[in-house]
Amino acid sequence: MHTDTERCVRAVQSKDARFDGWFFTAVLTTRIYCRPSCPVVPPKVRNMTFYPSAAACQQAGFRACKRCRPDTSPGSPEWNARADSVARAMRLIQDGVVDREGVPGLASRLGYSARQIERQLLAELGAGPLALARAQRAQTARLLIETTTLPMAQVAFAAGFSSIRTFNETVREVFALAPGELRTRAARVPQATAVPGVISLRLPYRTPLNPSNLFGHLAATAVPGVEEWRDGAYRRTLTLPYGHGVVALAPQPDHIACRLSLTDPRDLTRAISRCRWLLDLDADPVAVDAQLRTDPLLAPLVEAGPGRRVPRTVDGAEFAVRAVLGQQVSTAAARTHAARLVTAHGIPVDDPEGGLTHLFPTPGALAGLDPEALALPRTRRTTLTTLVEALAEDRLRLDTDTDWEQARAELAAMPGFGPWTVESIAMRALGDPDAFLPTDLGIRRAVERLGLPATPAALTARAADWRPWRAYAVQYLWTVDDHAINHLPA
């Protein structure tokens, strides 16, 4: 979008927050870059230039605005709606892969050479993987500086910097303030009472956001010991590269309040990325709802509760296991089966607030389970053990960068994986916005009440007009049935 100057200028002059994250405005006279909704008086058009990423702005010598803080914008919705190599690369960079594995590790995951990835990212984002990762490290450092009392040396290494000198230089260059000055400025702003060891932050999103189905679904399907709804917040344990964590996410009118307790602060980038992915916070609800409103049968559902998101997962392998456990049983039964696995094979953790007891077991931990110990039909035991074996041996990957169609084909080839299970995993684990569940019980009930075609084939053909947002159409269709997943818990 940054190449459409006229459209960008209109967005900046109207301070349209819907475009935050789509592009960044760099001001040639002040050498500052802003988000489109920056509250200051818009600069003259001749002094504006536009970039597709914060990293590109920084590479061009611009520093972040202290008023609108463009580094805290929601991410571009493009990366979640696309399945090409650039989108997959961006999802991996947001997960901190470059910091942990370097550019060669990023390229290896994508199946390209490092040179090809560099060229593709430069062409579309104006910055290579190292610059994009550097911009993200700067944002993580700012969060740690402003929300914790960690010594600056610990902040530097937790944010992914290789040296304190690089950390200091980057923070000064990006924010035009030394790390100590950032912390002093943050201390002047009234904040909620700090809890030792807990990082509190705000996760931005594009409005509107309807929390009912998002948090209602997560709470209704929560696995005891791993997830819970408490005091207006969804809480769960997280398995992370350097340790584990506990997160609490609570919906607020203009942000999601996030409280993170981590055993290793180096996991902050990954934890934030996982939470944003879980709640689908980088979606563009205006574009989605505009498309779905064109269908006269869906339009009333959209008008009744616009801004529905797709509830996802923090771990693709975990969701795949839970999807198999949930085949042809009720939500309560699926939770019971999952809780038994957690108790038997999950790693115990300490929750300062109580209530959460385990991490969900990894495929490696489940690889040696005794099928006879599972209270499941024999065919489903085979399905589960086959899935766990493929995941544990890395023959099947269900990460944010996984190719959607390849994963579908691999899942469909396994015993016991029908269209419902495959599409559920595509929608919630892989993040495909066009995944569709024509055989789902809730969808069949909605179809009957709305007068949509009853057979899966006919419904799929009818749903062609909803593409590429059929996963969001599923969220609206589920509201036709009065199920707990559609309501925030009391």
Locate 64 and state its tokens: 């972040």
Catalytic residue numbers? 34, 440
How do residues 421-457 score in pLDDT, each as one tens digit?
999 999 999 999 999 999 999 999 999 999 999 999 9
Please indicate whether residue 418 or residue 368 has the higher confidence score (pLDDT): 418
Phi/psi at 251 (5° precision):
-70, 135
**Does position 362 have pLDDT exceeding 60, yes or no?**
yes
- Residue indicated by tokens 């493009």: 78
**Does position 30 have pLDDT exceeding 90, yes or no?**
yes
Percent of the chain with pLDDT over 90: 79
Cα 181 from Cα 177, distance rounded (Å)? 6
Residues facing residue 295 across a β-bridge? none
**Does position 133 have pLDDT exceeding 90, yes or no?**
yes
Question: How many residues are listed for the chain in this entry?
Answer: 490
Give the DSSP letter of residue 71. G
Q: What is the mean pLDDT of residues 298-325?
A: 96
**Does position 191 have pLDDT exceeding 80, yes or no?**
no
Please indicate whether residue 4 or residue 228 has the higher confidence score (pLDDT): 228
Locate 156 and state its tokens: 């530097």
Note the pLDDT of residue 193: 45
Cα 186 from Cα 260, distance rounded (Å)? 19
For the ranges 77-91, 98-112, 210-224, 438-452, which has the lowest average pLDDT?
A: 77-91
Cα 5 from Cα 478, distance rounded (Å)? 40
Residue 187 near residue 460, CB atoms below 8 Å: no
For the ranges 282-296, 370-384, 451-465, which has the lowest average pLDDT?
A: 370-384
Note the pLDDT of residue 400: 87
Residue 465 near residue 294, CB atoms below 8 Å: yes
Q: How many CA atoms lie within 13 A of 208 on its CB side?
A: 13
CA 194 vs. chain centroid, Å, equals 26
**Does position 78 have pLDDT exceeding 90, yes or no?**
no
How do residues 226-242 score in pLDDT, each as one tens digit?
999 999 999 999 999 99
Cα 239 from Cα 362, distance rounded (Å)? 9
Give the DSSP letter of residue 11. H
Q: What is the mean pLDDT of residues 38-51?
A: 94
Note the pLDDT of residue 326: 92
Using alpha carbons, list the distances in angstroms from residue 6 to 3, 13, 27, 68.
9, 11, 16, 22
Give the DSSP letter of residue 245. E
- Residue indicated by tokens 């559920």: 424
**Does position 80 have pLDDT exceeding 70, yes or no?**
yes
Cα 62 from Cα 55, distance rounded (Å)? 10
Ramachandran category for residue 31: left, alpha or beta (phi over 0 → left; psi -120 to 50 → alpha): left
Q: What is the mean pLDDT of residues 61-70?
A: 92
Give the DSSP letter of residue 36. T
**Residues in Cβ contact with 420 at an 8 Å cutoff, skipping those fewer than 6 apart:** 327, 437, 439, 440
Note the pLDDT of residue 187: 75
Could you tell me what percentage of the chain is helix, strand and coil, using 3-state DSSP and rounding each to the nearest 5?
50, 10, 40
Indicate the pLDDT class of residue 192, thresholds 50, 70 and 90. very low
Residue 466 near residue 438, CB atoms below 8 Å: no
Using alpha carbons, list the distances in angstroms from residue 237 to 302, 346, 391.
33, 11, 21
How do residues 363-403 score in pLDDT, each as one tens digit?
999 988 888 888 889 999 999 999 999 999 999 999 988 99
Residue 135 near residue 93, CB atoms below 8 Å: no
Residue 288 near residue 227, CB atoms below 8 Å: no
**Does position 143 have pLDDT exceeding 90, yes or no?**
no
**Does position 189 have pLDDT exceeding 70, yes or no?**
no
**Does position 195 have pLDDT exceeding 80, yes or no?**
no
Alpha helical stretches, state H, 261-315: 268-279, 285-292, 299-304
Ramachandran category for residue 58: left, alpha or beta (phi over 0 → left; psi -120 to 50 → alpha): alpha
Note the pLDDT of residue 147: 82
**Residues in Cβ contact with 368 at an 8 Å cutoff, skipping those fewer than 6 apart:** none
Residue 38 near residue 67, CB atoms below 8 Å: yes
